[in-house]
Chains A and B, each alone.
Chain A
Amino acid sequence: MRLVAVAAAVALFAAAAPALASDRHPTQGELERELVCPTCHTTLDESDAPIARQMKAEIRRRIAQGATKSQIEQELVDEFGPSVLGVPRKHGFDLLAWALPLGGVGVAAAGLAFGAWRWSRARDVGDTVSHAPSAAPLDAELDRRVDEELARFDA
């Protein structure tokens, strides 16, 4: 159990370190791939619209000034609204965009598990019911006749 916890912590740090580095030192390419042109609704790297060219120039200028990725993203959201983000943010109301699909998968899995459990339980009960007559004791008369038949058979 302790080994699993250590492995999880290492994996978490391994994933967080590049993200932190990316936020502090964003590249032009990654921001152009992640931000959307407000007029043509494609990512900036695929757009040559006038406003997309202005946005690329602004990103270049802000990177040169040492702005972080989140600062640049926030400034563009302030100018053009949250739809410029190619992917929703992982906090506030936007978190719903991540949580709802994951929650949906969770609910579906729970529903499936519940359904499977009910189905297997119903089958067990069915099996019990179908075996019940053979497990029930014979009445005395029938029991006596079976013994007589068996005794005759043995003789």
Chain B
Amino acid sequence: MRLLRLLAVAVVVALLGLLVWDMAQADGSKVAKKVDQGQVVAAPKLVLPYHDRDGSFDLAAQRGKVVVVNFWASWCQGCKKEAGALNAAARYWRDKGVVFLGVDVNDFRSAASRFVDRHDVAYTIVRDGPGSTLGKWGVTGLPETFFVDRKGRVVPPHVLAAATREQLDEGIRRARRS
């Protein structure tokens, strides 16, 4: 009987642990909200496989550079609309210590490849088919763009729709000043 009681306590403790873990995982969803309130927050961990080659991109390894993180998918209309501005900005900022990163989410790999070819995407694309990073960054729709400063912190602004060239330049300048 004592063993049963111990087992019941262990099950309850395990369930509580699971709940705490789940809440800790969901904590990242505050990133977008905090940035929208004008706060600067540590960038969530982002390690994802490259779309077109072996290996993984690790955001933490980009310390010292400003990183523009753009969440997109080939089926998203806004993503098609902003593709030109992203490409032009990526080419302009390439030699100035700014890295552009496209995170392809909830998308077929083949469809993403067609998108990359059609829009002649000039920056790094990583793949997140299940969309596991969306919750951590607080992404609620596509496209969305974040700016990470040289210290690995997400700084305002956070672009919640198709980004324009002006928005991208302004975000990069603020990240460089941060």
Contacts and interface: CB of A to CB of B under 8 A. Distances in A.
Contacts of B131: 38-39
A79 interface: yes
Contact of A54 (B4, B111, B129): B111
Nearest to A82: B130
B4 A38 contact: no
B130 A54 contact: no
Contacts of B132: 81
Contacts of B75: 50-51, 54
B108 A79 contact: yes
Most buried by A among B106, B109, B130, B132: B106
Interface string A66-103: 00000000000011110100000000000000000000
B130 A80 contact: yes
A144 to B, nearest CB: 49
How would you classify the secondary structure of chain B's contact residues: helix, strand, loop or mixed? loop
Contacts of A111: 4
A51 B107 contact: yes
A81 to B, nearest CB: 3
Contact of A80 (B4, B76, B111, B129): B129
Contacts of B106: 38-39, 51, 80
A59 to B, nearest CB: 12
Interface string B120-145: 00000000011110000000000000
Contacts of A38: 106, 129-131
Interface string B90-121: 00000000000000001111010000000000
Contacts of A147: none
B32 interface: no
A81 B111 contact: no
B83 interface: no
Nearest to B128: A81
A51 B130 contact: no
B129 A79 contact: yes
Interface string B65-92: 0000000010110000000000000000
Nearest to A81: B130
A83 B130 contact: yes
A83 B132 CA distance: 10
A50 B76 contact: yes
Interface of B: 4, 73, 75-76, 106-109, 111, 129-132
13 contacts: A38-B131, A39-B106, A50-B76, A51-B75, A51-B107, A78-B129, A79-B108, A79-B109, A79-B129, A80-B129, A80-B130, A81-B132, A111-B4
